[in-house]
Homo-oligomer: A and B are copies of this chain.
Amino acid sequence: MAVRRLPIYLRALHELLDEDVQIVSSHELAERTGLSPEQIRKDLAYFGAFGRRGVGYETRILASAIRDILGLNRELRVALVGAGNLGTALARYTADRHHGVRVVAIFDSDPHKVGTRIAGVVVQPLDQMVDTLRQRQIRMAIVAVPATQARRVIDMLAEAGVQGVLNFAPTKVRAPRGMRIHHVDVTLELQSLAFWVTAEGEVSGSSSGGEPSSWQVRQCRAEKEYPPRQ
């Protein structure tokens, strides 16, 4: 889980580098990231001894070390599957600033999209994907296709030797052997966020049928969940 916080530190470190700050303490990093100093020290110490006691961390060296751990010191080439609005946004995004990850190949099954350019990359037909990825030795991919196509696409990616997938399709597809999938599920985020906003009238009227009443669950929400959170 520490790995998931390294990019947060990296972002803060790049900010500090832009400000020409040479040395940074775990406290300073904590301020900038919203995490605790102990947490940061634990995370960093887990991967090696990057700091100097009594001083702090050398900004440039720590940033480089983190990029090294993540494998981002050489720009990582990524494939994008699905050239819709979402895919386009993602391709353009990685093209703009260099975060160590860049979309260098795009695939779509729609013949109308094939041949067009997005952020300088030509969209290829889906059936060229496996061969192309193998040839170009691309090991990471973003999946931004409809839920119905996700499973097939991910199987194809596995066949092509892709080891990491960032999946935007709203579907829980379990990873093939040798592949790691990170899911970004907007529906899930929106729906769970909904829990925290008060409804229109917030009335206590019971809903139809024999199911537990709205009041019942709202009560439980208010009592059990609100205090500890946020």
Chain A residues in contact with chain B, CB under 8 A?
3-4, 6-8, 10-11, 32-34, 46-50, 61, 64-65, 68-74, 76, 78, 84-86, 88-90, 92-94, 99-101, 137, 139-140, 142, 163-166, 170, 172, 174-175, 180, 182, 184, 186-200, 207, 209-212, 214, 216-217, 220-221, 224-225, 229-230
Contacts and interface: CB of A to CB of B under 8 A. Distances in A.
Contacts of A220: 46-48
A214 B85 contact: no
A78 B209 CA distance: 29
What are the 7 A-B residue pairs with the smallest beta carbon separation, nearest first? A85-B89, A7-B191, A86-B89, A163-B197, A180-B196, A164-B197, A164-B193
Contacts of A195: 3, 6, 69-71
Contacts of A188: 4, 7-8, 11
B89 A46 contact: no
Contacts of A192: 3-4, 6-7, 70, 182
Contact of A92 (B48, B49, B85, B172): B85
Contacts of A69: 195, 217, 221
Q: How many copies of this chain does one complex carry?
A: 2
Contacts of A184: 184, 186, 189
Given A68-B217, A100-B194, A191-B72, A61 B209 contact: yes
A142 B186 CA distance: 10
Contacts of A34: 172, 174
Contact of A163 (B11, B73, B189, B198): B198
A83 to B, nearest CB: 11
23 contacts: A33-B172, A48-B217, A49-B212, A50-B211, A64-B209, A68-B212, A68-B217, A69-B195, A69-B217, A70-B195, A73-B214, A85-B86, A85-B89, A86-B86, A89-B89, A93-B187, A99-B191, A140-B193, A164-B197, A175-B230, A180-B196, A180-B229, A180-B230
Contacts of A46: 220, 224
Contacts of A199: 71, 74
